[in-house]
Amino acid sequence: MGCNVEDEFPKQAGCYSETDLRRLAAALGFPSNSLESCLPPGTLHKGIITSKKLHRLLDLGYFTSALHFTFNMKSGLYNVKLILKCLDLLDRSALSFADIQEAKVAFCAYEHLDQKGVKAETGMLLKAIKMCGFAVSPQKLSMYLRQKRPSFVERGRVQLYEFLDLLTICEPRKKFSILDKRVQSTDKTHRGLYQMDDMRTCALTPDEKLASHLNRRFQHVDSWMVPQETVSIAQPPTSRKCQQTEICNGTRPQPPQSRSESSGEATTDESWTLVTPVPQLRCHCYTPKREKPIQTEQDIQKTKNNIEELLYEMETLGEKARWDLNWKLDYYLPGYRERSATRPMPAVQQPPKTIKKKSCKDDVFNRLSAPRKRIPSPCHATSCDAYKLGIVEKIQKERLKCSTAKLNRSKTSHACYALSTTLSAKV
């Protein structure tokens, strides 16, 4: 895309030699033999490996541990995603090895110290894209970021494999050469006034001129607005032989006349014209045209390959997730799986017993309306420390005093009643 050298792409699409793997590793900043050393023996057939096999080996984790925080400050999964994105772009001839290397250098120049990616800002990304030798419309870039922002791994940051995907919508800067438009001394407007040069363009930088040009082109050409179509009268195609036979017979095709001319009415401008299709009669000079099929055999084979890859990913999804989990456990918690395997299994907990609600009897209202004196439970008596503190003895003494006072009162009352009865009897 940014380079015209044939050696910047693999010689065969979808096949990589040892030299291609070394160039890819060097473009990403790895040692030249880092990718080649991760391949298991017997995978290279005559020094060539297909892209499908590379994808499968990357999915199975042959490169993860070797690239995990070894040659850069990135994890193994991050580097695997980066290699997969590079293989995809090289298969589609979207980016070359030199473009990947320049993108790597520009990304490292603008990446923050926390190693979490470049800020997803239009100004900073335009500088990084310019450093790679590409150009893009700022409006198009902001629309792209607005659509892709929810799918970013890090919030507000762009990773290197996402930055490479962003370069596919850019164009090489060497394609553009912005020239200042100059007006001749005799040029006039439609009103008969002499035109003048716009001197405001002289104060703009070359980058601002290129950005304004790309924005205008994006608004008129690259936008997704549906253009307004005008309907016109379609004339049936006639061959040269049919025209010659008509001329020899004395009949020459006449141009179509509008209804307004035939009826003598005033012509009116209409925004649309009704077109009625007329079936054409076949003559001896008719030669049917063979139309090309909509889908070629390559498209059908590509669809089959995509279906096979999707089925393979669906089948290996659980295995890859299990392998990834075991790898993380072994890396971050060494020996955890062995200890968990020897640990006894916990006993099966019995389900809790269900408590049946007691049915309400008929005398519940009588019991609640006239409650009886509550007696302390034996459990409360054993757990209560009032006996130890002597509080119970004090209460019992007070109760005895109260009971003796009541008895004395009752005796005095009985004695007074007996005296009153005797006195009344004597009287």
In a domain, 186, yes or no: no
In a domain, 78, yes or no: yes
How far apart (Å, rounded) are the C-alpha atoms in residues 243 and 385? 125
The per-residue pLDDT for 288 is: 63
Q: Which residues pair with 283 in a beta bridge?
A: none
The per-residue pLDDT for 85 is: 93
Quickly list DSSP for 58-93: HHHTTTTTTTSSSSSSS-HHHHHHHHHHHHHHHHTT
Question: Which stretches of the chain drop beneath a pLDDT of 70?
Answer: 1-7, 180-185, 194, 196-200, 221-290, 358-362, 371, 373-376, 381, 384-392, 426-427
Q: Which residues pair with 134 in a beta bridge?
A: 172
How far apart (Å, rounded) are the C-alpha atoms in residues 205 and 142? 21
Displacement of CA 306 from its chain's centroid (Å)? 21
The per-residue pLDDT for 121 is: 93
Residue 42 sits in the same domain as residue 27: yes
Q: What share of the chain is helix, strand, coil (3-state, %, to 5)?
A: 50, 5, 45
Quick one: which of 24, 30, 69, 55 has its CA closest to 313? Answer: 55
118, 125 Cβ separation under 8 angstroms: yes
In a domain, 206, yes or no: yes
Residue 73 sits in the same domain as residue 166: no
In a domain, 344, yes or no: no
85, 107 Cβ separation under 8 angstroms: no
Those residues whose C-beta lies under 8 Å from the C-beta of residue 84, and which sit 6 or more positions away, are: 55, 58, 161
Residue 101 sits in the same domain as residue 63: no
Q: What are phi and psi of 270, to 5 degrees?
A: -110, 145
In a domain, 126, yes or no: yes
Residue 25 sits in the same domain as residue 117: no
The per-residue pLDDT for 392 is: 64
Give the number of other Cβ atoms within 10 Å of residue 61's Cβ. Answer: 17
Q: What are phi and psi of 49, to 5 degrees?
A: -130, 140
Residue 137 sits in the same domain as residue 214: yes
The per-residue pLDDT for 139 is: 92
Single residue among 221, 255, 286 that ends a domain in this structure? 221
| DSSP designation for 222 | I
Tokens 């498209």: give the residue. Answer: 299
The per-residue pLDDT for 375 is: 67
How far apart (Å, rounded) are the C-alpha atoms in residues 65 and 12? 29
Residue 70 sits in the same domain as residue 123: no
In a domain, 380, yes or no: no
Q: What are phi and psi of 321, to 5 degrees?
A: -65, -40
Question: Whole-model pTM?
Answer: 0.49
How far apart (Å, rounded) are the C-alpha atoms in residues 135 and 141? 10
The per-residue pLDDT for 265 is: 41
Task: Tell me the two tokens of residue 113.
Answer: 């110290």
The CATH number of whichever domain residue 207 belongs to comes to 1.10.238
Question: Which range marks the domain in which residue 52 is found?
Answer: 1-93
Task: Tell me the two tokens of residue 125.
Answer: 């990304």
Quick one: which of 302, 126, 297, 294 has its CA closest to 214? Answer: 126
Task: Tell me the two tokens of residue 244.
Answer: 């010659």
Distances (CA, A) of 145 to 100, 120, 151, 166, 169: 21, 7, 10, 9, 12
Task: Tell me the two tokens of residue 99.
Answer: 């473009």
Residue 84 sits in the same domain as residue 112: no
Those residues whose C-beta lies under 8 Å from the C-beta of residue 212, and which sit 6 or more positions away, are: 204
Those residues whose C-beta lies under 8 Å from the C-beta of residue 110, and which sit 6 or more positions away, are: 118, 124, 127, 128, 131
Single residue among 60, 93, 126 that ends a domain in this structure? 93
Quick one: which of 166, 95, 155, 180 has its CA closest to 128? Answer: 166
Our count of domains for the chain comes to 2
Residue 15 sits in the same domain as residue 86: yes
Tokens 């010689």: give the residue. Answer: 11
237: left (phi over 0), alpha (psi -120 to 50) or beta: beta
Residue 121 sits in the same domain as residue 68: no
How far apart (Å, rounded) are the C-alpha atoms in residues 240 and 179? 47
In a domain, 102, yes or no: yes
